[in-house]
Amino acid sequence: EVQLVESGGGLVQPGRSLRLSCTASGFTFGDYAMSWVRQAPGKGLEWVGLIRNKVYGGTTEYAASVKGRFTISRDDSKSIAYLQMNSLKTEDTAVYYCTRGGGYNYGDYWGQGTLVTVSS
């Protein structure tokens, strides 16, 4: 059974950093791209970014709203994807979901989400 479990959320002050983790199981993690999507309270879904698998260079793509502040990485030996969030702003407050896949696999599995609250 495919499972994605996010962790690392919490309350953080503006300007500080936080790292989220997405621990995967039930599939060959290294074969898939991994992605992050967020949802601010009462708002719609916002795509954050993606990391390709090593076959495609493990390269990353980001939304303009987070580019330069957020970094996605992966550790295939541990089946974990990370979202490093720096210079956090109040508008980054959201539930952060990790999702599996690139191409037509995109979004077939989602984690349960982890809440990040940026507030002083």
Partner 1 sequence: DIQMTQSPSAMSASIGDRVTITCRASQGISNYLAWFQQKPGKVPKRLIYASSSLQSGVPSRFSGSGSGTEFTLTISSLQPEDFATYYCLQHNSYPYTFGQGTKLEIK
Q: Which residues bind partner 1 (CB under 8 A)?
A: 35, 37, 44-47, 49-50, 61-64, 97, 102-104, 106-108, 110-113
Least spacing, CB of residue 102 vs partner 1, in Å: 8
CB 103 within 8 A of CB 27: no
Q: Report in angstroms how near the CB of residue 55 gets to partner 1 at its nearest.
A: 18
- 31 versus 108: smaller Cβ distance to partner 1: 108
Give the nearer residue to partner 1 in terms of CB position, either 46 or 76: 46
| Secondary structure in 3-state letters for 32-62 | CCEEEEEECCCCCEEEEEEECCHHHCCCEEE
CB of residue 13 to partner 1, shortest distance in Å: 27
Nearer to partner 1, 75 or 108 (CB): 108
Residues 30 and 54 sit within 8 Å (Cβ to Cβ): yes
Q: Please give the Cα distance from 33 to 58 (Å, whole number).
A: 8
Closest CB to partner 1 among residues 13, 112: 112
Nearest Cα neighbor of 59 from 40, 84, 79, 34 is 34
Q: How far is the CB of 47 from partner 1 (least distance, A)?
A: 4
Three-class DSSP category at 68:
coil
